[in-house]
Amino acid sequence: MAYRFRDRINYRFERFISKGGASIFKSLLIVFILGFLFIIGLRYLLLICFPDLDYTDNFFKDIWITFLQMTDPGNMNQDNDAPLGLRITTIIAGFLGVIILSMLIAFITTSLESLLYDFRKGRGKVLEEDHTLILGWNERVVDIIRELIIANESEKKASIVILAMEDKEHMDDTIAKRLPDTLTTEVITTGGDPSIINELERVNAPQAKSILILSNCSENAVLEDKIESDVQSIKSIMAVRASQGGSNGIPLVAEIFTEEKREIIRYFDDDNIIALDSWEIMGKLMMQTSLSSGLQIVYSEILSFDGCEIYFYEADWDGVLFGNIAYHFRDGIPLGIFNEKDGLVLRPEANYVMQEDDQILILAEDDSTIDFEKQAIHSIEDKTVSGERLVQTQKNILILGWHSVAKIFITEANDYLKEDTSIDIVFNQPPKELRDIVKELSDEFDNFRINLIDANPLMSDELQKIDPAQYDNVIVLSQSMEDHTADKIDSDTLIILLLLRKLTENVDNPRIITQVLNSENQELINQTKVDEFIISNKLITMILSQLSEEPLIKLFYDDIFSEDGSEIYVKPAYLYFDSFPQTLSFAEIMKTANARDEICLGIRDGDEIKNSSNNFGVKLNLDKGAAVTLRKNDFLVVLSEDEL
């Protein structure tokens, strides 16, 4: 098809202008030069044809006057003495100058607005290196930043870069409001799609120290939203790999809701990529907490960068036995060994001889305080224990509300609790989806009595009819299966906790366990005097943050949150000693726990269980030489095979 010359010119000009500000500026410059040459040519022609019009006797001065008139129409008065015929060029120059100047001002204004918009949106290139890169934005991001700030305290300068489909001003305002002091860490936010390679290169993803990919919906979201979030996370993983040339050498932790999508990520066969179902861990932790009081406090300290932490450490072991290795450290409690052949082994045999390529997994105050000494610092004789053990009993459990962690809780209960355990689930006007889930669980775990009760726990009279005092454990979860904010869910939880306290204040039972989503509601929860509470979002952020700093920690999580492996328990002191009080060093307490094939991590003061200012009585990694007085109502925090 033949196109007209005019159409071709218009098309080429449109394509040229559409390339952006530089093209517009070039166009204005060309128009100015052509207009300038035209006016100079016209003026020269007039002077040739009518020599009487030459009043300057210097054509170069005419050129200069024309230039001034075009750049500033106010300079038209330079030709006040010019003959009338020559003023034609003056008028044309001034007229063109007004037009070009107006276009230039409009161009500059638009360019500045675009530039300021890009600044507000954080569209510039990020030049950070060795930074932690967070892809995505959700309600947990501030807690993650808080944990990373604590982890970076020992560094002179650290940086966290956030790339998300979120308004930069909103991100900056949220962080500034909740984290006014970021210490040695600089937090940089920028708007953009985390699944686009160019965006990842703009935030220098290939040079990042670690990458966290956050879900873009909450756990209460419908399945379709979760699947969409998982798909976006997988796209981001693929983009991160592509930005590094098709492979990945950076620790990358992603929140993935569905098992199907986690399987897809395993196809990458990349040990640096960790697909984490955070809420599965929460369900398992809730089960363990129902068996062992104070466990959430223990995990909060171990998983946080503030307080005791878990480290991998290697040294020249000189053939020391694992059973004695703890007494070669002034700070630190070894929990297991790691090597390429066996992976991570928690609580290895006491007579295991440490090998040259072994690393230990150790709980310590800081990595700088871990120091293996060739000679034992403490020499402790073998201890005997009382021999008493806990007896597994049948449980009556009441679940008020519903959350996906409840399904995991019931699944885990099958490994921990005796047959004929009763689990009653109370939900106001339960939807068909929940009825189907409960029926499925009831059919799968026919050794339990699982019932769904239609009642409103937010109503005092309906809650009283259920009689919570008859249950061993009461677990309070979300009162809606719809996608509500964390504050809305926590508000309902607070009301129910107050009602439960009123109904059970004169009885010993039940132990009340609740899930709190927003960590800022912890102080409010403390006022209800609840027995145990799990701050889900806070613990999840701790896990994500630790994995981003040390991916091998996942081996530890996989073990302690599995019924088949070693787990942490808070056990009564009377399981270890026949008489009370007992005053002995913490090293001696550790040796006593060793007699039960357990590793003691600390103690819990039975008189401080309700005292939040004293960490609810939990003290971990005590000075091994410090004297400790244990009473019968105290507890030992131990790494053990079971809760008995």
User: What's the 3-state SS for 611-636?
Assistant: CHHHHHHEEECCCCCCEEEECCCCEE
Region 404-413: mean pLDDT is 82
Give the model's confidence band at 334: pLDDT under 50 very low, under 70 low, under 90 confident, else very high: very high
What is the pLDDT at residue 601? 93
Place of tokens 């060739």: 374
Region 578-601: mean pLDDT is 89
What is the pLDDT at residue 167? 85
Query: Would you say residue 231 has pLDDT above 80?
Result: yes
Give the model's confidence band at 564: pLDDT under 50 very low, under 70 low, under 90 confident, else very high: confident
Mean residue pLDDT of the chain comes to 82
Q: Where on the phi/psi map is residue 422: left (φ > 0), alpha (ψ -120 to 50), or beta?
A: beta
More confident position, 44 or 573: 573
Query: Would you say residue 531 has pLDDT above 60?
Result: no
Give the model's confidence band at 245: pLDDT under 50 very low, under 70 low, under 90 confident, else very high: confident
DSSP 243-285: HTTS---S-EEEE---HHHHHHHHTT--TTEEEE-HHHHHHHH
Query: Would you say residue 280 has pLDDT above 90?
Result: no
CATH topology of domain 396-539: Rossmann fold (3.40.50)
Give the model's confidence band at 96: pLDDT under 50 very low, under 70 low, under 90 confident, else very high: confident
More confident position, 352 or 104: 352
| Contact (Cβ atoms closer than 8 angstroms) between residue 495 and residue 524 | no
Integer Cα distance of 17 and 28 in angstroms: 11
Half-sphere exposure for 625 (CA within 13 Å, toward CB)? 8
What is the pLDDT at residue 307? 75
Query: Would you say residue 17 has pLDDT above 60?
Result: no
Among 540, 567, 419, 415, residue whose Cα is nearest residue 486:
540
| Contact (Cβ atoms closer than 8 angstroms) between residue 437 and residue 474 | no
Give the model's confidence band at 135: pLDDT under 50 very low, under 70 low, under 90 confident, else very high: very high
Region 520-540: mean pLDDT is 65
pLDDT in tens, 486-500: 677 778 888 888 888
In DSSP terms, which residues pair with 276 in a beta bridge? 255
Percent of the residues in the chain that have a pLDDT greater than 90, as a whole number: 10
Which residues have C-beta within 8 Å of that of residue 71, sequence separation ≥ 6?
A: 97, 101
pLDDT-wise least confident of 74-88, 322-336, 460-474, 545-559: 74-88
Integer Cα distance of 588 and 379 in angstroms: 9
Region 223-241: mean pLDDT is 88
pLDDT in tens, 613-625: 787 888 998 888 8
Query: Would you say residue 639 has pLDDT above 60?
Result: yes
pTM (predicted TM-score): 0.72
Integer Cα distance of 146 and 305 in angstroms: 10
Could you confirm whether domain 132-276 is CATH 3.10.105.10? no
What is the pLDDT at residue 504? 79
| Contact (Cβ atoms closer than 8 angstroms) between residue 103 and residue 28 | yes
Integer Cα distance of 55 and 364 in angstroms: 93
More confident position, 629 or 75: 629
pLDDT-wise least confident of 119-123, 184-188, 255-259: 119-123
Region 494-510: mean pLDDT is 79
The one-letter amino acid code at 355 reads: Q
Q: Are strands 599-604 and 618-620 parallel, antiparallel or unpaired?
A: antiparallel
Give the model's confidence band at 12: pLDDT under 50 very low, under 70 low, under 90 confident, else very high: low
Torsion of CA 500, 502, 505, 508, to 10 degrees: -20
pLDDT in tens, 416-452: 777 788 889 999 888 888 899 889 988 888 888 889 9
